[in-house]
Chain A
Amino acid sequence: MRKFCRFLASKLRARKIRRRNRSLLGDIGLTLVLAFFGLFSLFPLIFTVVNAFKPLSEIFIIPPKMSVENPTLNNFFDLATIVESFQVPLSRYIFNTGMITCLGTLGTVLLGSMAAFPLAKYTFPGSKLMSNIIVYALMFNTSVTAIPNYLIMSKLALVDTYWAVILPAVGSTLGLYLMKNFMVQIPDEMLEAAKIDGAGEFKTYWSVVMPLCKPAWITLIILSFQQMWGTTGGVFIYTEELKPVTYVLQQMVSGGISRTGVSSAISLIMLMVPVTVFIFSQSKVIETMATSGVKG
C-alpha cells in the first residue's frame, strides 16, 4: 500500500513537472469548450451517417432522430438501382474522376516540386521575383480568373477534356509554396556532397532532395487529391461521358425529403474516401505544415 502511495505521489509529481503553468479549472473549462465545438463539428456528419442507414419510415419521424432503430442498407441498394438507369454507366464517371485525380495529383507533385527545388536552394536572377509572385498568388482564388481561363481553354481546344480541370489545378501555387518551404530546411551540405559526386541539379533533385521530402509530397498528394476528388467539371466539361462522379452525385442530391436516405448514402461514400486517406497520412501532413509559414 505504501509502495502504491509512493508510486502515485511520484506520478503526480511527474505530472506537475510536465504540466507547469496549468490550473485544474482552466483544464476543465478548455476541455468543455473543445467538447462543445467538437460536437458541433461532428453533429452534421453523424446526422449524415445515421440518415444513410435509416429506412424510409424512420426518415419521416418528427422530430428527426439522431439514432436509427432498424438500420438498413436499402438506401445503398436504391442508389445502385438509380445508377443502373443512367445512360452512362457509373464506372465511366468513376473512371473520369480517377483519371482527373491521378493526373492532377501527379502533375501538382512533379511540376511543383521540380520548380520548388531551385527556388528553395539557389539564388539566381529572377529567383526572388518568382518567390514573391508565388506568395502573392496565394492571396486570391482561381474563381476570379474563371472567365479568361475558359476563353484560353477554348483557344487551346482544351474545353471538354480532362485537361481543362487538371491544368489550372496544377498551376495553383499552394503546392509549390509548401514544397519550397519544406525544402529550405534541407541542409546545404547534402547538396554540396551530391555536387562533389558529380550530380547535376536535376540529379540532385531527383535522388537526394525528393527522398528527403517524402512528408511534403505526401501532403501535396493529399491536398491535391482532396481538391480533385471533389471537382464537378463545372462549365469546362459538358460531355456526359467525361463528367466526374461528383457531378452526377450532386444532381441526385437535389431530390427533396424522399431522397434524403439516398443522398445521405452518396455523401457518406464521397466522404469516406478523403477522410480515410487523411487518417493514414495525418502525421506526414502535420510535419509538412510545420514549415508552411510566411516569412516576415
Chain B
Amino acid sequence: MKKNKEPLALTWKRHKSKYLMIAPFAIIFLVFTLIPIVVSIVLSFTSFNMVEAPHFNGLTNYINLLVRDDVFLIAVKNTLLFALITGPISYIMCFLFAWLINELPPIPRSIITLVFYAPSISGNAYMIWKLIFSSDTYGWANAWLLKLGFIKSRILWFETADYIMPILIIVQLWLSLGVSFLAFIAGLQNVDKSWYEAAAVEGVKNRWQELWYITLPSMKPQLMFGAVMQITSSLSVSQLSIDLAGFPSANYAGHTILTHLHDYGNIRYELGYACTIAVVLFFIMLLCNIIVQKLLRKLG
C-alpha cells in the first residue's frame, strides 16, 4: 500500500478540504471507537485490576473464560437463546407492522406508527413491567391469574428461574420496534406504486404474492439495515435484565454476556478478564451480522 511522496502530497492538495471536513468526526471516532477496540483486544491478553499495571498472561483469560467459567457458558447460552428468539421475531414484527400500517390512510397511519414506536423511546417506562409481573398480589399478572382461578397461589415471577427469560423476551419484543421499524415504514412508502399496477396486470393475485414478488425485493437495502440494527440490539441486552430480574438474577437465568462483562468490569475490577468477554462478544456480533448480511444478499 506504500505510495511515493509526490502523489501523496498531490492527493492531499487536491482533496484537502474533504479530509479536513472528515477530520473532526474521524478523530472522535478513532479515539472513542477504534482505539478502544484495539485496547480491548490488547488488554484481553493481560491481567489488569486498575491499580497495578497490566501484565501479560497470554491466553490464560481465554482459556479460563471458555473452559473454567461455568457462569460464562450460561451467559452465552442465555444471550444466544435470547438473540435467536428476539432477533428474528422482532425483525419480522418490525416488517409486518410496517407493512400493515402502510395500507392505512395517512392519519391513522401516523397514530399507529406512534403507538408501536412509543415503547422504544419511552426511556425507563419499561419498569412498569416490574409492576405487572410483581411477585406480590398487587402485581397485575398475579392478581388476575388468581382472580380468574388459573393459579392457586401467587407466582414469584422474577425469583423463579423458569419465568425470567420468557418475561425478558416479552419486554424486549415490546421495546424492539425502533429505528428499523421506521426504516421499513419509509422503505414501503417509497416502493414505486406503478409496479403494483403492472404486477396486477401480469397476474399477481393477492397481497401475499405482491409482498413476495414486489415489495420485499424493492426494499432490500432497508431490510439489510434493519437486520443489522435488530441483531446488534438483541445481542446487547443487559440493562433490561439487571433492572427487571436483578443482579445476579435467580440461578443466573437472566445472565447475559453483557451482564457478565458488567460483573467483572464494574464490580470485581478484573479488567483484563472483562476485556476478554468484550472481545468475544464483539466478534459474536460482527460474525452474526456478516453471516446474516450474506444470507440476505443471497435471498434477493
CA distance A141 to B234 in the complex (A): 10
Residue of B nearest to A223 (CB): B179
Asked whether, in the complex, the Cβ of A286 is within 8 Å of the Cβ of B189, the reply is yes
A147 contacts the other chain (CB 8 A): yes
Measured CA separation A34–B289 after assembly (Å): 29
CA gap between A205 and B17 in the complex, in Å: 11
The CA of A287 and the CA of B117, in the complex, are separated in Å by: 16
Minimum CB–CB distance for A194 against chain B, Å: 13
Chain A: residues with Cβ within 8 Å of the partner, total of 96
Residues of A within 8 A of B137 (CB): 62
Q: How far is the CA of A29 from the CA of B71 in the complex (A)?
A: 45
B200 touches A267 (CB 8 A): no
Q: Which of B29, B134, B177, B274 is A147 in contact with, Cβ under 8 Å? A: B274
Residues of A within 8 A of B132 (CB): 44, 47
Give the most central of B118, B200, B265: most A CB within 10 Å.
B118
Query: What residues on A are CB-neighbors of B160 within 8 Å?
Result: none
Chain A residues near B207: list those with CB within 8 A. Answer: 21-23, 26
Interface residues of B in 86-126 (CB under 8 A from A): 93, 96-97, 100-101, 103, 110, 112-119, 121-126
Q: Is residue A28 within 8 Å, beta carbon to beta carbon, of the partner chain?
A: no
B5 proximity list for chain A (CB < 8 A): none
Contacts of A118 in B (CB 8 A): 15, 18-19, 21-22
In A45-65, the 8 Å CB interface with B consists of 45, 47-48, 51, 59-60, 62-64
In the complex where A21-B210, A114-B25 touch, is A267 in contact with B128 (Cβ < 8 A)?
yes
A38 touches B116 (CB 8 A): yes
Write out the residue numbers on chain B whose beta carbons fall within 8 Å of the beta carbon of A171: 25, 28-29, 31-33
Q: Is B138 a contact of A257 with CB atoms below 8 Å?
A: yes
Q: Are A124 and B18 in contact (CB under 8 A)?
A: yes
**CB-CB < 8 A to B39: which residues of A?**
148, 151-152
Chain A 139-150, CB-CB to B under 8 Å as 1, else 0, gives: 111111111110
| Cross-chain contact A246 with B147 (CB below 8 angstroms) | no
CA distance A171 to B36 in the complex (A): 12
**Could you tell me if A139 and B232 are in contact, using CB atoms closer than 8 angstroms?**
yes
- Say whether chain A's binding surface is mostly helix, strand, loop, or mixed: helix
Interface flag for B286 (CB, 8 Å): yes
CB distance from A218 to the nearest CB of B (A): 13
- In the complex, per-residue mask of B223-235: 1 if CB is within 8 Å of any chain A CB, else 0: 1110011011101
Which residue of the partner chain, among B22, B190, B206, B224, contacts A21 with CB atoms under 8 Å?
B206
User: Which residues of A are found within 8 Å of B96, using beta-carbon distances?
Assistant: 33
Q: Quick check: B147 and A257 within 8 Å, CB to CB?
A: no
Chain A residue numbers with a CB within 8 Å of B163 are none
Q: Is the CB of A289 within 8 A of B185?
A: yes
Query: Do B15 and A145 have beta carbons less than 8 Å apart?
Result: no
Q: Which residues of A contact B231 (CB under 8 A)?
A: 139
Smallest CB–CB gap between B294 and chain A, Å? 11
A23-B124 in contact given A38-B112, A130-B22, A294-B228 (Cβ < 8 Å): no
Q: Is the CB of B174 within 8 A of A41?
A: yes
Given contacts A173-B29, A290-B189, contact A144 B35 (CB under 8 A): no
A-B contacts, 19 listed (Cβ < 8 Å): A20-B196, A20-B200, A21-B209, A23-B206, A38-B116, A44-B126, A44-B132, A48-B125, A63-B147, A115-B25, A118-B22, A137-B33, A141-B233, A146-B265, A152-B35, A229-B123, A257-B136, A283-B110, A286-B182
Apart from A201-B17, A290-B222, what are 15 other A-B pairs with CB-CB below 8 Å? A64-B138, A114-B24, A118-B19, A140-B232, A140-B285, A145-B36, A145-B37, A168-B33, A170-B28, A171-B28, A274-B123, A287-B186, A292-B179, A294-B224, A296-B224
